[in-house]
Amino acid sequence: MPRWDAYQMPVDTGLFTPLGLQPTAVCRLGFNAAGRWLSEHALSHRRLVTEYRTGFVLWSAQLIFDEPVSFFDSDCLEMKVTGRIRGGGTQFECEVEVDSARGTTTRMQACCVPLRLDGDPALSGAPARLGPEVMEAFLPGEIEIRPHRSPTPGLRAAIVRDGTVLARRRTPFVIHRHQCEVADQWYWPEAVSLASGGREELVRVESGRVPGLRLALSTPLRRLDLLFNRPFFLFDEGAVLSSALKWQGRLVFVHELVGIEGGEARALAIEQFTLPPEHAWN
């Protein structure tokens, strides 16, 4: 049985929008919670990097927003987190629950791929199975042979196949140091910020033609799926290729984050908003 940690996180206004918890804030809180769990029950992230030359790169994540939570609901968020090894040592997965005075509001599941680091300041490395000395820090109930399978590729395929495209937009960006982590590559929650910015820009430009798009600015996000292929680095130029679709009674945004050179997809983000039953597209 995996071990769980529970603790409180005082709220501040920077964690919220008028609609509830910021998705980017949830990702940052969740990643911090996973690091806390590793420090408490296995090996700290710093020790993994410096002593065992082992890093983690995020590969897949999913956020589910059960109910919106406001800054005014409570003084603290109740955080719960657990971790486990998947794929016999080829993945580290964490689950995070964010509760408020009104009950569970947000759940995050994230899966990382371990890297064997080369020892340079950029923390470069290659995917590698966790070594036995790291595996020994986990309980038998925290090690699973079965690997995590990301639902994001199948979800995207279903949306593209069965959804109705409403609008598309390209939003360029440049990665600056305030968006990076210690190795001068982007800190992965920035993918959520960039995708959200792409959505808002699409709505701003296209809502005159498709008024229903405005729901994406007034309706809380219900689900966010993320998949990462390759990071951006300091001063890299890229673009968010955003598509808005109507799919299974939901307003969905599919965001590809691509590099300017080569145009290859570095990350994929899919946002889902539940439409009011009375809503009709114009």
Domains, the chain, in order of start with CATH, read 4-142 (3.10.129.10), 152-274 (3.10.129.10)
DSSP state of 186: B
Three-class secondary structure assignment of 199-223: HHHHHHHHCCCCHHHHHHHHCCCCE
Q: What is the pLDDT of residue 275?
A: 82
Average of per-residue pLDDT across 56-81: 94
Q: What is the pLDDT of residue 279?
A: 65
Q: Please give the Cα distance from 70 to 56 (Å, whole number).
A: 32
Q: Please give the Cα distance from 112 to 31 (Å, whole number).
A: 11
Average of per-residue pLDDT across 246-271: 94
User: For residue 249, is it left (φ>0), alpha (ψ between -120 and 50) or beta?
Assistant: left
- Tell whether the model's pLDDT for residue 23 goes beyond 50: yes
Question: pLDDT by residue (tens digit) across 139-196?
Answer: 999 999 999 999 999 999 999 999 999 999 999 999 999 999 999 999 999 999 999 9
Q: At residue 269, what are phi and psi to the nearest 5 degrees?
A: -130, 135
Read off the pLDDT band of 258 (50, 70, 90). Answer: very high
Question: pLDDT by residue (tens digit) across 227-241?
Answer: 999 999 999 999 999
Q: What is the pLDDT of residue 29?
A: 97
Q: What is the pLDDT of residue 282?
A: 47
Read off the pLDDT band of 278 (50, 70, 90). Answer: low
- Tell whether the model's pLDDT for residue 27 goes beyond 70: yes
Helix H segments across the chain? 23-41, 45-50, 132-135, 152-162, 190-206, 215-218
pTM of the predicted structure, to 2 decimals: 0.96
Q: What is the pLDDT of residue 263?
A: 77
Q: What is the mean pLDDT of the chain?
A: 94
Q: Please give the Cα distance from 82 to 36 (Å, whole number).
A: 10
Structure tokens at 257: 């984050």
Residues in the chain, total: 282
Q: What is the pLDDT of residue 55?
A: 92
**CB–CB of 189/27 below 8 Å?**
yes
Read off the pLDDT band of 109 (50, 70, 90). Answer: very high
Q: What is the pLDDT of residue 159?
A: 98
- % of the chain at pLDDT higher than 90: 88
- Tell whether the model's pLDDT for residue 104 goes beyond 90: no
Q: What is the pLDDT of residue 76?
A: 95
Q: Please give the Cα distance from 133 to 125 (Å, whole number).
A: 19
- Tell whether the model's pLDDT for residue 281 goes beyond 60: no
Buried b (16+ CB within 10 A) or exposed e, 244-279: bbbbeebbbbbbbbbbeeeeeebbbbbbbbbbeeee
